[in-house]
Structure 1
């Protein structure tokens, strides 16, 4: 086992991953007071997802603890936060304006957190102060899904260079052990990686399960979420289980997916938090056919409400789903269909998995996430000070 390793969230159900032993950052380190996040989107953006929710919950927690927090992002910027949000321009153009916006509208900071979701900001090339890199998942395979070969190859090389080389010497925070492993594979030293898991909201009073089969898929409708695959599998499941498949979310793929959908499929678009809560409670199963995940926040959002998940055996979901305990991780399309049908037809097995999912999800709290982030931020700040000395 390596001498150095990432921080693992201290929940009773977390076990060590091979080669990644728990190592806490120095508790004596002073946490930076002024913290700036540099990210692609604010939570107010219609394309916001799990990454934006993670940053928002950490920023809210830091602000409540007395830190001065700002977010520099692209696109819409909400003004009703407990922290400052500044837009640097449009979704693509803000990458070029991020440095100027930071210099003119933010200025001094104790720690800059670059959220690298594929396209990097290359902050270490223009910011000489303490810097921390936050990574949800390495986009290695996603480049080929979204761009033609030359552009995909360029984007992949730039992402890998930014994480392994531009941020050399900086700590890199990953949201799961799977993401940590992906970082080591592209050359990020293991002793610079820290793992801080996503939290989950306490759901409040639960709503009873639907009396008829109700299956739920929730997330942004983009290629790598593979809702098109789910719709094809539904045609094999529906004759066995009956019921409805409800698709929650919006995105560029929605029109195509709606045209592909067969009987029993309902697209509801974006929903309020109350509607989301009710659907997650009432659903018999959460279906998550994504090809790539860093963690899969919706899995724990469903789990805390007693709803088990069926997904594919991919990095990220291997962290948020305990296969055979809190859900099922399928190793192929037929296995996915089999798990879906089996759990739909077995009230007892589905109920036991739902209970186990709720118990495990209760160990992931946003308060713990914020505490772990503060510890990593303090270490990143201290490391920079030591280098300067």
Structure 2
């Protein structure tokens, strides 16, 4: 099957994140089983307009705005050459491929952006993009999403028929993410793009209180983003001493910190899945996170981690503190998290994905 996959970024893009990891891991496995995959994505200066990565053809056109027009033109002209098109809607705005081609199209949606848009963007821009996102049920007949809770949001907020939504969770490279030595210090790990809706400041306020209860702790922050200056300023204001901002790190260093951490924390108010949560689980590290869509799928409450009420600092402090001081609880959740992660091998995920897109392509 000849597949065209449309996404803003490719795995080599300087701002590549979880959506690009998912693309890389699934697409290269689709190539291995005999499919052809072409990725149409935005261009960046330091990368060539075309190349082949892991057997995947990469075509880079336009910038993050113009690619929406250029992608439509490309699909209008060349869409008929493909057996299936995947519109990967990682940033709220649909690609609208079904409007210009008769080739079967499936949308992939990581999470619903509606409320997040008003946190991250000026109100008038947020309103416009939210309106575009709400066109999804009118444009697409079939949707793949990464979690059950995102599926339920698509049904409740957009009125999409549940029979047309397929859930394929994010996977883990189990050959790389595996348990390792724990740090001698009680170590809290936060990983992600530092955005306003990720609420890293909640963890800083919580950590300030945790320091008084659990001695010799350290907080490790991996990631960058436009909200980072505000977070660094708050860290200085709170006079937090044992905090390290590591910025963007290599995959190898990220894995080492996932192994060393005693607990990984997510304070985001929405996630499609929470890939770093399950990657840390494969390293034997339990999680504390807000009980929100996506994170409630990647964490099984009181088995692989602890879910707390969003923005409730008291609950956040108590949950993290409990895992740091209660070795029996931490060990139990760590073992459960590891066992749970073994179900999420990318090979199994890619096989499920392949079966679904084959059915859609040949209906």
Q: TM-score, normalised by structure 1?
A: 0.86
Alignment pair present for 1:34 and 2:14 = no
- 1:380 maps to which of 354, 360, 363: 360
1:102 Cα shift? 4.3
Partner Cα separation in structure 2 for residue 187 and residue 153 of structure 1: 19
1:104 Cα shift? 6.2
Residue-by-residue CA offset, 1:218-238 (whole Å, 9 max, x unaligned): 011112211122212211112
- In the alignment, is the contact (CA less than 8 A) between 1:132 and 1:171 conserved in 2? yes
Alignment pair present for 1:66 and 2:34 = yes
- 1:179 maps to which of 126, 150, 172: 150
Q: What CA RMSD, in Å, does the superposition of the two structures yield over aligned residues? A: 1.6
Partner Cα separation in structure 1 for residue 205 and residue 147 of structure 2: 30
Change (3 A) 1:105 1:267: farther
Partner Cα separation in structure 1 for residue 125 and residue 229 of structure 2: 26
Partner Cα separation in structure 2 for residue 240 and residue 217 of structure 1: 20
Q: Residue in 1 aligned with 2:43? A: 75
- In the alignment, is the contact (CA less than 8 A) between 1:47 and 1:251 conserved in 2? no
Alignment pair present for 1:166 and 2:139 = yes
SS at match of 1:41: coil
1:321-332 → structure 2 map (5 Å cutoff): 321-331=299-309, 332=312
Alignment pair present for 1:88 and 2:56 = no
Residue-by-residue CA offset, 1:251-290 (whole Å, 9 max, x unaligned): 2122222222122111001111211111000000001111
1:379 Cα shift? 1.4
Q: Residue in 2 aligned with 1:122? A: 96
Q: TM-score, normalised by structure 2?
A: 0.92
- In the alignment, is the contact (CA less than 8 A) between 1:200 and 1:365 conserved in 2? yes
Partner Cα separation in structure 2 for residue 180 and residue 239 of structure 1: 41
1:182 Cα shift? 0.8
SS at match of 1:250: coil
Change (3 A) 1:189 1:241: same
1:151 Cα shift? 2.3
Q: Residue in 2 aligned with 1:245? A: 219
1:1-389 → structure 2 map (5 Å cutoff): 33-76=1-44, 79=51, 81=53, 82-102=55-75, 108-117=81-90, 118-161=92-135, 163-167=136-140, 170-185=141-156, 186-202=158-174, 203=176, 206-242=179-215, 243-261=217-235, 262-331=240-309, 332-383=312-363
SS at match of 1:134: strand
Runs of 4+ in 1 over 3 A off after TM superposition: 75-80, 101-107
Residue-by-residue CA offset, 1:53-97 (whole Å, 9 max, x unaligned): 111111111111111101111133573512011112112221121
Q: How many residues align?
A: 348
1:103 Cα shift? 5.4
- In the alignment, is the contact (CA less than 8 A) between 2:178 and 2:283 conserved in 1? no
Partner Cα separation in structure 1 for residue 29 and residue 5 of structure 2: 13
- In the alignment, is the contact (CA less than 8 A) between 1:200 and 1:361 conserved in 2? yes
SS at match of 1:212: coil
Partner Cα separation in structure 2 for residue 205 and residue 189 of structure 1: 38
Q: Residue in 2 aligned with 1:6? A: none
SS at match of 2:58: strand
Change (3 A) 1:353 1:205: closer
Partner Cα separation in structure 1 for residue 107 and residue 77 of structure 2: 22
Partner Cα separation in structure 1 for residue 78 and residue 233 of structure 2: 45
1:106 Cα shift? 7.3
Partner Cα separation in structure 2 for residue 265 and residue 107 of structure 1: 53
Q: Runs of 5+ in structure 1 lacking a partner?
A: 1-32, 384-389
SS at match of 1:286: strand
Change (3 A) 1:114 1:358: same
Partner Cα separation in structure 2 for residue 315 and residue 333 of structure 1: 19
- In the alignment, is the contact (CA less than 8 A) between 2:177 and 2:283 conserved in 1? no
